[in-house]
Amino acid sequence: MVVTEGEITEIQYLQGLLQHLRTAGVTVVPFAMKSGGGEPSRVLAKARKIAAKDDYEAVWIVVDVDDHASLNDVLRECAGSSETVVVSNPQFEVWLLWHLNSSGASHTATSLKKELRRHGFTGTCKHLPTDFPFNNVEQAVAMATHRTRATALNARGPNPSSAMPHLVEALRGN
């Protein structure tokens, strides 16, 4: 199961990624997707509530750094638990940007939105463009695993960084 901080962007991305991988002939590990709707402690609480009702082989939590006061507590709590936290710094949108270009520059929420608008995102950049390049997932993985941005699970990486390659690998059953 994957529980995301965001209610729109992360869910749309994961759905699109699954479709892309299946179309490419990749056998994808089946999983449920849920929105945690908010800051990391709420996402963790929702993940635990859902997991208590159902039997999941793995529980993944996808969150941003943003200005979340609870992030470090959640990371410490999950380090010794069955939940795995995937953090993007400063936001999940940096992972999306790496599908579009190979800039390793640090970002703020504002600069990320500005950059994404240059690539066809509109408004608040919450909805992925219909032509989002899911086929560039390997480019994004390469950007995220570059030596200065490599991010461990259950950890806050530098700006910019994302631990999404770990989730992509897990979805592929690797």
- pLDDT digit string (tens) for 24-77? 999 999 899 999 978 999 999 999 999 999 989 999 999 999 888 899 999 999
Facing residues of 162 across strands?
88
Residue 112 confidence (pLDDT): 93
Which residue do the tokens 């710094």 mark? Answer: 89
104: helix, strand or coil? coil
pLDDT at 174 over 80: no
Backbone torsions φ then ψ of 97, nearest 5 degrees: -60, -35
Residue 68 confidence (pLDDT): 86
Q: What is the phi-psi region of residue 125: left when phi exceeds 0, alpha when psi lies from -120 to 50, beta otherwise? A: left
Q: Can you tell me the mean pLDDT for 79-97?
A: 94
- Residue 94 has which token pair? 């940096």
Compute the C-alpha angle 113/140/170, nearest 5°: 115
